[in-house]
A and B are shown apart, each in its own frame.
Chain A
């Protein structure tokens, strides 16, 4: 019956082995992890017939005894401290050690611990009362982000409405969270109109706003024709909406011809004829 127990010790030992190996595999991507190996020893042997015992009264002896082992046990799990591969991270605060050595860190209980995992970060601490009273050092934690100032609407503005000075506020947002686009200043926003209705709290992007419409389609406008030495004005009808500086089509009421002009003010379109 002993054979069953002996085989069972073998299974137990292999179980330890599997546990060690699976820990190695689990830590395959752990910084500076050192792999481990389980080592086994045979268990004590039972003597059934000792070597050298007399086999007869004429002085012959047994050349080989009978010894049967009773199984295996885990002798130890040792660490293989060979150097791991160095992986480039391009991070300023990552440091690797080549060769033997450890970084020292202080544990919260004051003891020192040793590590080869050199993925360091910066922490911040606040010093209060320095030089004036009892000093107080406070550790603060968090992450550092670049922020930019972004104009934000304080009320819902419909299309065609003008954005007044009271309608925008400046908010700090993470630089990376801002969609690409021009860095809008609050001055650039006031007096503009949104291209579509914008909700309260919406961040303003350059593409969302435009100059307000000052020439309305179908309304009468004054057409100013400018040449180098004379100015002619005529009455006309705008065929398109137009903001300051836009090129729109207008129809001359008298000649019924359609011409293109630049919006120069409320109900005013100019046509420059150089030369």
Chain B
């Protein structure tokens, strides 16, 4: 099961089960799981034509109504996990840029406000 406790499916569509006698779990590059007892099935790796159709659910999962297809070029690596693709430095830089834009807009609003106030001031003075 995954870290939320949901069962992981094999290519047969059934959850992958490991018996109490199984030891020495090995996962090959195509996702086949084998133990001392024998073949335990294969991870059902799927991909989607249009990944933008995937809806983000919580707990690192996606849901979609689109039909999945077999993913043949995906490689499975045991003993590793995929980290996030966030690059902290890029994100921080973006954050600073966004912050400056925000400040700039705020600055603009106040100077524009000042401009208007001055204009009104000048105009009313002239009339008087």
**B67 CB to closest chain A CB, in angstroms?**
11
Please name all residues of chain B whose beta carbon is closer than 8 Å to the beta carbon of A21 when the two chains form the complex: 91, 94-95, 98
Tell me if A107 counts as interface (CB < 8 A to partner B): yes
Is the Cβ of A84 less than 8 Å from the Cβ of B2? no
Out of A24, A29, A94, A99, which one reaches B80, CB within 8 Å? A94
Residue of B nearest to A19 (CB): B98
Tell me if A120 counts as interface (CB < 8 A to partner B): yes
CA gap between A115 and B94 in the complex, in Å: 27
Out of A15, A34, A94, A108, which one reaches B102, CB within 8 Å? A15
Tell me if A91 counts as interface (CB < 8 A to partner B): yes
Chain A contact patch, size range = 35 or more
Is the Cβ of B60 less than 8 Å from the Cβ of A115? yes
Out of B4, B85, B91, which one reaches A83, CB within 8 Å? B85
**A6 CB to closest chain B CB, in angstroms?**
9
Is the Cβ of B95 less than 8 Å from the Cβ of A25? yes
Chain B positions 97 through 127: 1 when the CB is less than 8 Å from some CB of chain A, otherwise 0: 0110110011011001100100000000000
Given A21-B94, A25-B88, A81–B60 Cβ distance below 8 Å? no
Please name all residues of chain A whose beta carbon is closer than 8 Å to the beta carbon of B81 when the two chains form the complex: 31-32, 86-87, 89, 94-96, 117-119
Out of A28, A78, A97, which one reaches B74, CB within 8 Å? A97
Chain A positions 201 through 231: 1 when the CB is less than 8 Å from some CB of chain B, otherwise 0: 0000000000000000000000000000000
CA gap between A98 and B27 in the complex, in Å: 14
Chain B positions 62 through 100: 1 when the CB is less than 8 Å from some CB of chain A, otherwise 0: 111000100101111111111111111001101100110
CA gap between A109 and B91 in the complex, in Å: 36
Q: How many residues of B contact A (CB 8 A)?
A: 63
Out of A25, A80, A106, which one reaches B85, CB within 8 Å? A80
Tell me if A116 counts as interface (CB < 8 A to partner B): yes
Given A88-B79, A92-B79, A103–B2 Cβ distance below 8 Å? yes
Tell me if B51 counts as interface (CB < 8 A to partner A): yes
Is the Cβ of A79 less than 8 Å from the Cβ of B56? yes
Is the Cβ of A117 less than 8 Å from the Cβ of B2? yes
Within 8 A of A (CB), among B46-67: 46-48, 51-52, 54, 56-57, 60-64
Out of B47, B77, B94, which one reaches A102, CB within 8 Å? B47
Chain B positions 18 through 62: 1 when the CB is less than 8 Å from some CB of chain A, otherwise 0: 100000010100010000000000011111100110101100111
Please name all residues of chain A whose beta carbon is closer than 8 Å to the beta carbon of B98 when the two chains form the complex: 14, 17-18, 21
Out of A15, A85, A98, A104, which one reaches B46, CB within 8 Å? A104
**B25 CB to closest chain A CB, in angstroms?**
5
Is the Cβ of B91 less than 8 Å from the Cβ of A24? yes
CA gap between A104 and B82 in the complex, in Å: 16
Is the Cβ of B84 less than 8 Å from the Cβ of A99? no
8 intermolecular pairs with C-beta atoms under 8 Å apart: A18-B98, A32-B81, A94-B79, A106-B15, A112-B9, A114-B54, A115-B2, A120-B1
Ranked 9 nearest A-B pairs via Cβ: A101-B74, A101-B71, A33-B84, A117-B60, A14-B102, A84-B85, A101-B45, A10-B105, A105-B6
